[in-house]
Amino acid sequence: TLFDTLDEETWERLEEALIMADVGARTTAGVVGQLEQEATSGQVEGGPALQERLIELLAGIAKTGTDTIDLRHEPTVIMAVGVNGTGKTTTIGKLAWHLQRELGKTVLLGAADTFRAAAVEQLTRWAERAGCDIVTGPEGSDPGAVAFDAVAQGRERGVDVVIIDTAGRLHNQEDLMNELAKVRRVIGKQMPDAPHETLLTIDSTTGQNGVRQAKLFSEAVPVDGIVLTKLDGTAKGGIALAIAGELQIPVKLIGIGETLEDLRPFDADDFARALVAP
Amino acid sequence: MFDALAEKLQETLSDVRGRGTLTEDDVNKAMREIRLALLEADVNFKVVKQFTQTVKERCLGAGVLGQLNPGQQVVKIVNEELTALMGGSSAGITFSPRPPTVVLMAGLQGSGKTTATAKLARHLKEAHGSSVAVAACDVYRPAAVEQLVKVGTQAGAAVYEQGTDKDPVDIARWALDRAKTEGKDVLIVDTSGRLHIDERLMQELKDIRKAVKPHAILLVVDAMTGQDAVNVSEQFAEAVDFDGVVMSKLDGDARGGAALSVKAVTGKPILFASVGEKLDQFEPFHPDRMAQRILGM
Ligand SMILES: Nc1nc2c(ncn2[C@@H]2O[C@H](COP(=O)(O)OP(=O)(O)OP(=O)(O)O)[C@@H](O)[C@H]2O)c(=O)[nH]1
Ligand SMILES: Nc1nc2c(ncn2[C@@H]2O[C@H](COP(=O)(O)OP(=O)(O)OP(=O)(O)O)[C@@H](O)[C@H]2O)c(=O)[nH]1
Ligand SMILES: [K+]
Ligand SMILES: [Mg+2]
Ligand SMILES: [Mg+2]
């Protein structure tokens, strides 16, 4: 562990570990400061106790708000948003499979990424894999119209969950963010309290820009949770800690691969432990 | 585009800039701000350490402290060192005297390879009048072939694809033969996204390289990447010794410290910047501009 030897460099090593995990300088300084203070005052003594306290502190930051998804609406409408290439479409495929297979829910997908080349084909392929239906529109058509149509069909058919895919967009592009807000409003016109769950995908390899992503996306559409994708790589996804700490947006799901089965609920303790694992 | 830390750094530096004399303490204070700004910009922790050390030594060593305008000197040194680290002017792609020139694209999942493949095809066509073919060697990601067919065609390139049932190495070899037969100037090989720790897929990449003997291998790196950029680029360099980097999604507001880290650690130059989803949003990379962006100056 980081506390096998306790000396002046211990705190530097801890700082390095957290920054290398993309936790960011601010959040890192807070955690290191707190632990150092508790160690100096004798509140926490010895390597193992420090290690446990560290994990407790990190997990404490990661745990914020509601980290589950309420599926009791009829249907529950979930919308996936995020910057380009973070894993929205793949996550939807995995989630649809999980909802149907593990929870016995019926799922309908809405292909509201009408912009990116072959985005509709990609989601269609995932729908086939997951064994659910999909509502599509022509490439280049209005994404709001597709989303509206998907929710309408979901209600008509009485499915349990409708999941709307959206095009990747950078949070600093105002027109695209306005478009996203509009898609959300259009969904709300079809079903007043929908979407019930807006999930923002954050790629684990993302650095400090992740906080900006979360901030600007949640300004455009209230974000209920983060899906932290690509955790099967070497990146530890520490930016999710900074997002939870600074914006109180919880991580709800993690992506750990490219197959249907590679989606898991977020576990703050496991995440905290992995953050500081060598 | 500049966040709080960048502004703070500017403040500190302008504070220093305005003063007549500098103490060692001033330099240390400035270095702390620079360190924070670089970390906030996602420059790798170890690279930052080395960098601030070098800058500090130069500041203290060259008699800067006693000079008339020490603050300006510090700013100048930081800028110079950062630009030097980023590399000189952009080199681009060197064409093979015996066409086709083969370019192999590689990188993590979702980094922007397929888009960059089409953009590079368009760029070479526009800038050099080359006839370009692109090869669809991603047989894993759903609809990856369809995506390349669309963007490749839009870019005015011939798209060589064999669906998803064949081995990517065989597809690459077949595409090279076809590019020769059809007298193409350039063949750009798109590959599936892969993790640097995925042994099977890294081996596949090595096999593709062996099969088509590319004149240039480009690693596509997302500008929003954090500290892991170093891990990723080191391992791709070790596996296939790539020649240069395409920085993608630079139209965002990430400060792009990953660019600096990749260059510092692998020594490979950043050749192109991808600055949007449209095919013409692609340009040669400018190290000096990037240095300023990282510092928020
Ligand atoms: N290793 C790994 N790869 C993933 C994971 N999630 C997604 N990917 C891959 O990341 C790439 C991008 O995923 P997509 O689902 O297309 O991402 P997206 O956010 O929908 O992308 P755009 O719609 O283009 O913005 C694909 O190659 C996926 O297979 C994950 O958890 N682990
Ligand atoms: N804003 C912006 N988006 C980009 C840029 N380059 C690529 N993208 C988008 O990023 C997403 C992923 O791009 P792809 O080209 O599919 O990435 P890839 O590396 O081929 O992905 P995989 O094949 O799944 O590994 C898509 O939504 C692209 O439109 C860029 O420079 N700026
Ligand atoms: K990991
Ligand atoms: Mg998508
Ligand atoms: Mg691709």
- The H or E element containing residue A134 is strand A133-135
d(CA A258, CA B251): 27
For B106: left if phi > 0, alpha if psi spans -120 to 50, otherwise beta; the answer is beta
pLDDT digits over A90-146, tens only? 999 999 999 999 999 999 999 999 999 999 999 999 999 999 999 999 999 999 999
| Residue range B96-110: mean pLDDT, rounded | 97
pLDDT digits over A31-59, tens only? 999 999 999 999 999 999 999 999 999 99
- Give the full edge-to-edge strand order of the sheet including B132-137: B158-160, B132-137, B186-191, B101-106, B216-222, B244-248, B270-274, B282-284
Q: What are the distances in angstroms from CA B272 to CA A26, A247, B223, B249?
A: 32, 34, 12, 11
Q: Which two tokens stand for residue A22?
A: 């993309």
- Give the full edge-to-edge strand order of the sheet including A263-265: A133-135, A107-112, A161-166, A76-81, A197-203, A225-229, A251-255, A263-265
Cα Rg for chain A, rounded, in angstroms? Answer: 20
pLDDT digits over A161-211, tens only? 999 999 999 999 999 999 999 999 999 999 999 999 999 999 999 999 999
- The H or E element containing residue B270 is strand B270-274
- Interface TM-score (ipTM) > 0.95: yes
Fill in the DSSP letter of residue A137. -
Answer whether residue B21 shows pLDDT above 90: no
Q: Which atom of ligand 2 is nearest to the CA of B273?
A: 31
Q: What are the distances in angstroms from CA B245 to CA A199, A267, B227, B261, B279?
A: 31, 35, 17, 12, 18
Q: Where are the alpha helices (DSSP H) in B129-250?
A: 144-154, 168-181, 199-212, 229-240
Across chain B, mean pLDDT equals: 89
Give how far the C-alpha of residue B25 lies from the chain's centroid of Cα atoms, to the nearest Å.
36
CB environment B3-40: b (16+ within 10 A), e (fewer): bebbebbbebbeebeeeeebeeebbeebbebbbbbbbb
pTM, 2 dp: 0.96
d(CA A190, CA A215): 27
d(CA A190, CA A135): 15
Fill in the DSSP letter of residue A266. -
Question: ∠ CA A240-A244-A247 to the nearest 5 degrees?
Answer: 120
Q: What are the residues whose beta carbons fall under 8 Å from the beta carbon of B100, sequence distance 6 or more?
A: B133, B176, B179, B180, B184, B185, B186, B187
Instruction: Tell me the one-letter amino acid at A181.
Output: A
Answer whether residue B16 shows pLDDT above 70: no
Q: Which residue do the tokens 């080191």 mark?
A: B234
Output the residue whose Cα is nearest ligand 1's atom 13.
A87
Residue among A18, A91, A166, A208 with most chain B CBs within 10 A, to mutate: A208
Q: Which tops the pLDDT comparison, A185 or B26?
A: A185
pLDDT digits over B229-278, tens only? 999 999 999 999 999 999 999 999 999 999 999 999 999 999 999 999 99
Answer whether residue B7 shows pLDDT above 60: no
User: Are the C-beta atoms of residues A165 and A198 closer than 8 Å to each other?
Assistant: no
- Chain A residue nearest residue B253, CA to CA: A172
The CB density around residue A1, as the number of other CB atoms within 10 Å, is: 13
Q: What is the pLDDT of residue B290?
A: 86
Q: Which atom of ligand 2 is nearest to the CA of B109?
A: 25
Instruction: Calculate how close chain A gets to B271, using CA atoms only, in Å.
Output: 21
Residues in B lying within 8 Å of A, measured between beta carbons: 1, 3, 36, 39-42, 45, 108-112, 140-144, 146-147, 149-151, 154, 195-197, 222, 224-229, 231-232, 249, 251-255, 257-258, 277
Answer whether residue B205 shows pLDDT above 80: yes
